[in-house]
Structure 1
Amino acid sequence: MKRFGEDFFQEKTKKIVIICLVVLVVFVSFYSFKSVHYAERLLPKTKVNNINVGGLTVDQANRKINAKLTEAPVAISLDNKLWKKIKRSELGWQKDHLEALMQIKQKQVPFAWGINNLLGSQHQLSSSYDQAYVDQLVENLGNEILQKNVTRTPTTNAKIEWVEGDFVIVPEKQGDTIDVEAAQRALIKNLENGKQTVNAEDYYAQPILTKDDSQLKKLKDQMNKLVKIEATYTINGKQVVIPAEELASWLTTNEKAEMQLDQEKVTAFVTNLNGEYNTKENPTAFTSTKRGEVSVPVGIYSWSINIPAEVEALSTQILKGKNFNRTPVVESEVPNVQTSIGNTYVEVDLQNQYMWYYKEGQLQFETDIVSGKPSTPTPPGVNYVTSKSTDQILRGLNDDGSKYASPVRYWMPIDKTGVGIHDSDWQYAYGGDLWLYRGSHGCINTPPAKMDELYPILEVGTPVIVF
């Protein structure tokens, strides 16, 4: 019995081995046959421009590609309706691809047909259109989409807006406008890869920024912090505060979620600031020694804001996000002009016929004067000492047309008309109403002894307020 069982097992094993060998021989023979077959053909599941040419000879594949790509129309849809149907041949599609197909065949390994049958292979023919035709078609599609978009609801990005005293994120909104560039790219790609339809409705414009964007949230917090800064100007002794609401209206963001300032609004603010405070057009409020606050007309010591420079400087200052108090960038013919008279100046009170000189707020000098007579009055204005000289002869015309020549020891002109401060030894007294009948030709007549004191201490460039 034992011997019989062993023989039976051996016999069964022998049969299995023979069957496996037969199967292997058949498989190898079949695989070898197929390998020889694919030596003259493209491997299975070979796709060229998305067209299956597996198992075909190069000539057969060329004819199939030509039939499908050259004459098969490409349908382009807008509003889910056919907009245009065009054959590739109308775009100058090249019909012969033998050379490219031969290169694909030469690179394949026939014995690898089995692997290719499982995984497949994709190949792309280089664009062989008349580029001018393609460009025109793409441009036409873009123009058509732009016209359609006019009546559609645009897609909007999430954005930051000022709402009831706070910056908040307004969510994005999906519209139904078509992304022109995306649709154009799809058309070009489909022309190249063999696909026969392009539906522009598949390419709705998508929001770039959403309400959940971390950068946008961070930016909102920065803007809420920035709008709380104390932003102030000091001009001619006055404090000009930029209100938070005003500042908030300037803050904007771009599509990259970067904070910016609306330059038109900043420019409008600076322009208004200049219109209200520049001293080339506006009188200067001045606190006088005897008469309280007076309004002094425009003189040569004047300035206006350099608007472009100030807009740039103010924008930079704001974006730093820190409290600031600044004076504007100004332009003037006067060297080192200031936006306020300050506390060093000469004060000439025509009504009281008196002159004072203050330096850093401290009285340095005072005297009675005689100003211009009624026919040649001393012009009021905010001026300054333009120069200093000694031993000059002042020349001009009297009321009757005769000439005069008045020697002076000290001469300090203060405007462009020839008015200045000088000694006058021909005056026997000063102050009161002497100016009515012994007044000057417009200059400020000063006692000679007093000019001995004033001339050495008064510097060129010192403001002279005449009122």
Structure 2
Amino acid sequence: MTKKKWLLIPLVLVLILVSFYCYQAIQFQNKFLDKTMIGNTDVSKLTKEEAKTKLNELVDAEVYRVLDNGEVFKEIPKKELGMEYDIDKTVNNAMSKQNSWLWFMSYIQAPEKEDLEAKGINKESLNKIMDSVNKELEAFNKNRKQTKNASVEQKDGKFQIIPEVQGDSIDTKKFISAAAKSIEKGESDIELTKFIEKPTILATDDNLKKELDNINKVAEINASYSINGQEVKIPKDKMASWVIFEDGKLNLKQDEVKKYVEELGATYNTSTNPSKFKSTKRGEVSVPAGALSWTIATDTEVAQLTEQILKGEDFSGRVPAFQGSGTPASSLIGNSYIEVDLQNQHMWYYKDGQVALETPVITGKPSTPTPPGVFYVWNKKRNEILRGEDYASPVDYWMPIDWTGVGIHDSPWQNDGAYGGNSFQTVGSHGCINTPPSVCAKLFDMIEVGVPVVVF
């Protein structure tokens, strides 16, 4: 064989290859490349018309797949969503994207999948199915490792940063939102692992470190109340146990703070607790709660105390939020008050700790006794008529001390020698404190509205 003939062989081979390449390129100008997928349907080597026919036949079998690391977690028939597709547009778009001159690339790498173009979707059906998927994912997450943010917690007696935890649980809220949009676009699947929850607060977060400093400040503050003239310290270990760090914020356990404030009220509220009183003749006595009292306003105090503590600064002399006629800011009775000793049938008026006036009195008879308690003169009136079911008594001086009609007044109908002793048992009042007229006039002028009245 001559040299020329040998040279013709490669040329012929090249011509054959070029011819085959061109033939294939021309063929794929009107047909889909190998491994071409539209939705979940293989349209390889089909013409546009053939692909449209096949898709129209199989469209009811189309499913939307939820994948977990490539494996099918759930399949949702698209017809259950009431979806309609624009097959013509989908096929034309897919054909326009392929390059027939690169037909050989489909044997190396499959062409990018084309999703069916959706015309519309039934929103009600979509929402119903998404609710169902959400419930399945919530159950699915229970068996997976939960992602946790870095946090500040009390451990081994001190607060420290606990590192974040990267789990493999799914952020269901983000997934459901993305899946709904994906379905509306006509896509065929979605991958769960793209929605694994990620910690948003890391142990290296500067704000977390600052909060740790703030927490330690809060846990170490010195704090106390001033209640009825007494200092009431809040235990440091108790305050430290209230501190929490949640969602990137320093706060206090509100239920624990409320429990403490309620205990404070149970111990000190003068509306429910008796008051210790140093009497003139009988030493220290216990006087029941009366009209002059206060109660800690629990919810308001919880909010205000929380705000105060979170400042991270020492405080003392705090007066709790309260409601009532008295105030916890100072001693309920103080140094100026009226003392009524029922046992001794005697009354004193102390002004700045000194006796300014005293007198024997007549209090309620056994059937209508004068109630004991810490009261106060809430009004002063002249020339009143005191009325009851079986009486109407005019008086010159009237000083009510509670809300049931009990008060201090002059009693001109009583004999001068009747005041004091045991006369209350026979000529006693309906509950009021009968006072000699001349003494009552002096007392009326000496006192101010608001003066405490201690009856025991």
Matched-pair contact (CA < 8 Å) for 1:371–1:377: no
Point out where structure 2 has 5 or more consecutive residues left out of the alignment: 1-24, 103-110
Match of 2:416 among 410, 413, 428: 428
Per-residue CA deviation, residues 253-284 of structure 1 (Å, 9 max, x unaligned), is 22x30122322222222222222222222211
Matched position secondary structure for 2:226: strand
State the distance in 2 between where 1:121 and 1:80 align.
17
1:59 deviation in Å? Answer: 5.7
C-alpha contact (below 8 Å) 1:370/1:440 kept by paired residues:
no
Q: Does residue 355 of structure 2 align to residue 368 of structure 1?
A: no
Structure-2 separation of matches of 1:40 and 1:416: 101
Task: Render the CA deviation track for 1:211-268: whole Å, top value 9, x for unaligned.
Answer: 22222221111111122223322222222222222222222222x3012232222222
Distance 1:125 1:143 in 2: 28
Identify the residue that residue 209 of structure 1 maps to in structure 2: 201
Aligned to 1:320: 311
RMSD of aligned residue pairs (Cα, Å): 4.9
- The whole-number CA distance in structure 2 between the counterparts of 1:182 and 1:59 is 39
Q: Check the 8 A contact 2:364/2:433 in 1, yes or no.
A: no
Do the aligned partners of residues 84 and 412 (structure 1) sit closer, same or farther apart at CA in structure 2, a change above 3 Å counting? closer
Listed one character per residue, the Cα deviations across residues 393-418 of structure 1 (whole Å, up to 9, x for unaligned) are 55669xxxxx7776543221222444
Aligned counterpart in structure 1 of residue 274 of structure 2, from 263, 271, 283: 283
1:269 aligns with 2:270: no
In 2: Cα distance, 1:62 partner to 1:328 partner: 79
CA deviations 1:430-455 (Å, max 9, x no partner) are 88745567764244344444334321
Paired residue type of 1:380: P
Contact 2:217 2:313 in 1 (8 A): no
TM alignment of 1:158-197, pairs within 5 A: 158-184=150-176, 187=179, 192-194=186-188
**Percent identity of equivalent pairs:** 38
Q: C-alpha displacement at 1:367, in angstroms? A: 1.0
Partner of 2:105: none
Matching of residue 419 in structure 1 with residue 406 in structure 2 = yes
Structure-2 change in CA distance of 1:102 and 1:414 (3 Å):
same
TM-score relative to the length of structure 1? 0.70
1:11-30 map, 5 Å? none
User: How far off its partner does 1:297 sit?
Assistant: 0.9
SS at match of 2:416: coil
Q: Partner of 1:311 in structure 2?
A: 302
| Aligned mates of 2:434, 2:42 — CA distance in 1 | 109
**Rounded Cα–Cα distance in structure 2 between residues aligned with 1:69 and 1:38:** 24
Which amino acid is 2:88 matched to?
L
Distance in structure 1 (CA, Å) of the matches to 2:424 and 2:129:
90
Counterpart CA distance in 2 for 1:263 and 1:366 is: 50
**Residue 382 (structure 1) shift:** 0.4
Residues 13-56 of structure 1 show CA distances to partners (whole Å, capped at 9, x for unaligned) of: xxxxxxxxxxxxxxxxxxxxx9x9999999xxx99989999999
Partner of 1:400: none
Q: 2:442 aligns with which of 453, 456, 467?
A: 453
> Any idea what the Cα deviations from partners look like across 1:161-210, whole Å, max 9, x if unmatched?
22354321222233443333455466557764555x74x46654333322
Cα distance change on mapping 1:187 and 1:228 into 2, 3 Å: same
Aligned equivalents of 1:165, 1:83: Cα separation in 2? 45
Q: Hey, what does 2:248 align to over in structure 1?
A: 257
TM-score where L is the length of structure 2: 0.71
Q: 1:216 to 1:126 in 2, by over 3 A?
A: farther
Task: Give the distance between the partners of 1:189 and 1:169, measured in 2 at CA.
Answer: 38
